[in-house]
């Protein structure tokens, strides 16, 4: 039965001052070894645990990190978001931090940050899903709330801390692979292009095409929430059109599964009649591994990104005034079963 002893009671029991007990428990050096031992033992015995609210009030640090998710993000990026969160959460736990998640209506996002700052709910926040006309970083600077961006804020790369994968390069490499395989009609099924990551992916795609003398064809590019039906419906439409693509470059496994479904429904074979390369966030419930992964993919673990983002943020918090840091992860290009040479015409 852990009874809920507090510091006062504990110190009384030990015939020591609260001060000493606190110091002993918090590892201050000036406590004698013997005292420290006695204190820890008794604390253990009485099941003492410091009240976090009290400690937070006293120290002025809330020992929590906030994640604000507007509905729009979580509807769109649902599983990816959780995987990131899971990674970040691991890091927080390790360092004794709590993770606070605020699910808010889209137009209350700023309010949420304001509250976190003014009510001291968290010592820092992670900014998710930066868009092309991002503004949250300005607010956060004004609020003096440390933050790390998952992704990049165009034009503010130098003045903010962020972690991102090399979206442009990943899609450039994927495109080149398809070109090498002889594909020339390549479709792009991208995420919402007001999101920075999606814009970069498109850029990588188009640049690779142009560099090899191909003109990007608007008719072969779509941008939307990365759902399964999005992949299926658009692939279907394109495959049934005149001059259909022989390859698809897709922004998420989920949509790629949809594309594969469309391919099947058209009586074609993935990896033979139609090639697919997808980005793979390494989501645990959608494993794409094995000796030969189902999908050829550009892979970058979003969970790992979460861990790293959290580390970055905690470091910023413990060293206020330090320079912005950023981490640029490179995606791997992994060959799976969904690509093959372009079919002869």
Partner DNA sequence: TTGAAAGCGTTACCAT
Partner DNA sequence: ATGGTAACGCTTTCAA
Positions that interact with DNA (CB under 7 A): 6-8, 15-20, 22-23, 25-26, 29-32, 34-35, 48-51, 54-55, 57-60
- Contact partner, 286, from DNA, a second copy, none, Cβ < 5-8 Å per class: a second copy
**Least separation in angstroms between CB 9 and DNA:** 8
Min dist. Cβ of residue 108 to DNA (A): 21
Q: Which of 217, 225 has the CB closer to a second copy?
A: 225
| Distance from C-alpha of 292 to C-alpha of 54, rounded to nearest angstrom | 54
Torsion angle of C-alpha atoms 152, 153, 159, 164, degrees rounded to 10: 0
284 binds, among DNA, a second copy, none (CB under 5 to 8 A by kind): a second copy
- The least CB distance from residue 325 to DNA, in Å, is 25
69: partner contacted, choices a second copy, DNA, none (Cβ within 5-8 A by kind): a second copy
- d(Cα 179, Cα 176) in Å, to the nearest integer? 5
CA distance linking residue 328 with residue 326, whole number of Å: 7
Which pair of structure tokens corresponds to residue 224?
Answer: 């939307």
Binding stretches for a second copy (CB under 8 A): 1-2, 4, 47, 49-54, 56-57, 62, 64, 69, 71, 74-76, 78-79, 81-83, 85-86, 89-90, 92-93, 98-104, 114-115, 117-121, 142-143, 225-229, 254, 257, 260-261, 264-265, 283-287, 290, 294
**CB neighbours of residue 230 within 10 Å:** 22
Cα 207 to Cα 231: distance, rounded to the nearest angstrom: 23
CA separation (Å) from 55 to 23, 41, 50, 175, 338? 13, 21, 7, 54, 55
Cα dist. 32→13, 48, 224, 276, 320 in Å?
18, 20, 64, 66, 32
Nearest-angstrom CA–CA distance, 153 and 289: 32
- Half-sphere CA count of 154, side-chain side, radius 13 A: 11
* 152, 162, 200 from 149: Cα distances, Å: 6, 4, 16
Q: How far is the CB of 121 from a second copy (least distance, A)?
A: 5
Nearer to DNA, 111 or 330 (CB): 111
31 binds, among DNA, a second copy, none (CB under 5 to 8 A by kind): DNA
Measured from the CB atom, the residue of 227 and 326 that comes closer to a second copy is 227
Nearer to a second copy, 19 or 284 (CB): 284
Closer to a second copy by Cβ: residue 148 or 226:
226
């Amino acid at each position: 039965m852990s009874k809920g002893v507090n510091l006062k009671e504990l110190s009384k029991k030990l015939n020591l001052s609260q001060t000493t007990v606190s110091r002993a428990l918090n590892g201050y050096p000036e406590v004698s070894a013997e005292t420290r031992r006695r204190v820890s033992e008794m604390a253990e015995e009485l099941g003492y645990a410091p009240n976090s609210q009290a400690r937070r009030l006293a120290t002025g640090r809330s020992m929590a990190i906030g994640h604000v998710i507007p509905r729009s993000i979580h509807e769109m990026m649902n599983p990816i978001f959780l995987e990131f969160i899971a990674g970040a959460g691991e890091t927080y736990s390790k360092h004794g931090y709590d993770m606070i998640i605020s699910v808010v209506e889209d137009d209350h996002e700023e309010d949420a940050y304001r509250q976190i700052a003014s009510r001291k709910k968290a010592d820092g926040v992670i900014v998710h899903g930066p868009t092309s006309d991002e503004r949250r970083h300005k607010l956060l600077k004004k609020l003096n709330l440390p933050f790390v961006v998952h992704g990049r804020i165009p034009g503010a790369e130098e003045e903010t801390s962020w972690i991102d994968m090399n979206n442009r390069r990943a899609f450039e490499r994927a495109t080149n692979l398809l070109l090498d395989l002889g594909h020339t009609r390549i479709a792009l099924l991208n995420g919402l292009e007001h999101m920075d990551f999606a814009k970069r992916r498109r850029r990588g795609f188009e640049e690779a095409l142009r560099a090899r003398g191909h003109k990007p064809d608007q008719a072969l590019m779509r941008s939307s929430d990365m759902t399964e039906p999005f992949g299926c419906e658009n692939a279907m439409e394109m495959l049934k059109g005149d001059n259909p693509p022989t390859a698809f470059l897709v922004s998420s496994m989920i949509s790629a599964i949809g594309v594969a479904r469309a391919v099947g429904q058209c009586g074609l074979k993935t990896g033979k009649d139609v090639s697919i390369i997808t980005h793979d966030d390494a989501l645990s419930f959608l494993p794409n591994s094995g000796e030969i992964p189902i999908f050829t993919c550009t892979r970058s673990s979003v969970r790992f990104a979460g861990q790293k983002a959290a580390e970055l943020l905690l470091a910023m918090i413990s060293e206020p005034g330090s320079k912005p840091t950023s981490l640029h992860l490179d995606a791997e290009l992994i060959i799976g079963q969904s690509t093959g040479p372009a079919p002869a015409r």
